[in-house]
Chain A
């Protein structure tokens, strides 16, 4: 064990961590406690009077079939987005790792989408797949698929998942490429001499050694799908058709800022916070066990 560090000055250490503490307090604990407080208030839309109702908001939210639906939507959306973006990124990274000539060019090009703002990425996909003007929608209909994400919930879901995953692929790609580069070439060569063909080498050597990267990305992508995809959903479907693509975050926004049911919205964001904390804890506790760190 490292010996405990003792500072001769009693005040200076606190002074030095004060800025960080202040930022955390002001931008994290204060809003979080506000949300917690508001989740137990019932307010009228104009904010003129409010009433402390304890856990009534939570009871109401959790018994709302729309909210249960939103949980399902979020689960499907998050799992699909994380899977799609990670699988696609891994395939691209493995391919890019094999390129010998102008590999930097390929990598740069593949990293570009990350610089695109979520709403812009959403618009891009919206235009491509717009039933009346989208070129890809035209191609889909030509192939005999009745494409209409404006009316069909599952198609709308496919569209937002693709848009959300597409944006995250670059980020995942970057980490997978770095992870692949960290695997010594001699290991791959040893496996080849040991009689393992390419696919076998990937599953028995490369993939297990990538596990720390994969695990990290799983956590990041889940959080991304939960929180950072608001812009995409807002731009592409607005949560519709019906409530087919209304994720938890989108519902928080919709109930709070559109419908002005502030108490409900606050209660939902508290639940959301608990879900993400629980999810991350579970990931660290169970998935990380299977991860082998070098």
Chain B
């Protein structure tokens, strides 16, 4: 139960490498903030600075308005779920969960009550006497969650907690983490490189690139209005189609009012359509089908258009064949424009 305020946080390593270049994020109480970005973007370093595992070399990190820069991880009252869970291999599940409470001098009967309560929530009750190596990956993940929850900390930190699970389990745990976080109402920071996880979990989504925040906000806002070509191509699967404006041929003679500085045009695969003839309104590109990817409920057409590869989503089964000529169209309000620096224009 706390707000987390990062103000111009920086991390410069001893060798002079700047991993985090001035990040400011204000996370309100009970919110789940997801840091997403490619590997090496500084998201894990930022999380570890919030945890107190890395020193903050510039700026401040504050919990509830109180600057915690100089406070070690032991006193910050946070809980963290690690990527490889970091369960204590020599302790039973019960002791793994009780360890943090014991260190804080919680009375024995209360430890027992809280561990059993948490184990019940996470359906771990029958596993309390086992050791970590006797558990499956999903069960270990739950124990790691349990160890974090049982302490009832101010802030939860998640460092790619689902990346070691298989796809199905990952989907289940994603929903569970979201529900747990909601019902417990603990402010959380969640690091992932998976944009789907980021989109579905986040109250506040922070897209990071090269140690800086590219965009920050509500996930759907970011999806609908990416602030840069980086965000546009990182959020959404398959990613947004990006075409240099000079190469775009408007076959119908339709005039699309491009903003003045725009040099790149973008549109989402699901905002585009394929027709045999151009429809007259909006974007129309002559394209050749180069690949078809049926996913079940939808299919993705990979087309060559304007010297680029363009992905278009079509509903259901696709009847298009390789080498087929068609026109890719997109409505004018669904187009995104970016300037020569990759920033959103208009």
Q: What residues of chain A have their CB less than 8 Å away from a CB belonging to chain B?
A: 184, 186-187, 189-197, 200, 204-205, 208-209, 211, 292, 294
Contacts and interface: CB of A to CB of B under 8 A. Distances in A.
Given A189-B53, A191-B88, A209-B90, A197 B99 contact: no
B242 to A, nearest CB: 38
Interface in B283-320: none
A193 B90 contact: no
Contacts of A187: 86, 88
Nearest to A190: B86
A208 B88 CA distance: 10
A194 B90 CA distance: 16
For the residues of B in contact with A, the DSSP-based class is loop
B100 interface: yes
7 contacts: A184-B84, A189-B82, A190-B88, A192-B53, A192-B72, A193-B76, A204-B99
Contacts of A208: 90
B111 to A, nearest CB: 13
Interface of B: 51-53, 72-74, 76, 78-80, 82-84, 86, 88-90, 99-100, 103-104, 133, 147, 151
B90 A292 contact: yes
B78 A196 contact: no
A294 B51 CA distance: 27
A192 B90 contact: no
B135 to A, nearest CB: 15
A190 B82 contact: yes
Residue from A184, A191, A193 with most neighbouring chain B CB atoms (10 Å): A193
B160 to A, nearest CB: 12
B80 A190 contact: yes
Contacts of B74: 192-193, 195-197
Nearest to A184: B86
Contacts of B86: 184, 186-187, 189-190
A189 B157 CA distance: 13
B89 A209 contact: yes
A294 to B, nearest CB: 6
Which residue, of B74, B79, B80, B133, has the highest number of chain A Cβ atoms within 10 A? B74
A200 B103 contact: yes
Contacts of B84: 184, 186
Per DSSP, chain A at the interface is helix
B89 A191 contact: no
A194 B89 contact: no
Given A186-B83, A190-B80, A193-B52, 20 more contacts: A186-B82, A189-B51, A189-B53, A189-B80, A189-B86, A190-B82, A190-B88, A192-B72, A192-B73, A193-B51, A193-B53, A193-B76, A193-B79, A193-B80, A193-B100, A196-B103, A197-B74, A200-B103, A292-B90, A294-B89
Given A189-B53, A209-B89, A209-B90, A194 B82 contact: no
- Which 6 A/B pairs are nearest by Cβ-Cβ distance? A194-B100, A195-B103, A186-B86, A190-B86, A292-B90, A192-B73
Given A184-B86, A187-B88, A294-B89, A194 B53 contact: no
A101 to B, nearest CB: 9
Contacts of A186: 82-84, 86
B132 to A, nearest CB: 10
Contacts of A191: 88, 99
A41 B317 CA distance: 96
Chain A CB within 10 A, most for which of B76, B90, B151: B90
Given A186-B82, A189-B53, A190-B82, A195 B88 contact: no
A200 B80 CA distance: 19
B104 A193 contact: no
A102 B274 CA distance: 64
Given A187-B86, A209-B89, A194 B147 contact: yes
A294 B90 CA distance: 8
Contact of B73 (A189, A204, A209, A292): A189
A195 B104 contact: yes
Contacts of A209: 89-90
A195 B72 CA distance: 10
Nearest to A291: B90
Contacts of B133: 294
Contacts of B151: 194
A192 B86 CA distance: 12
B103 A205 contact: no
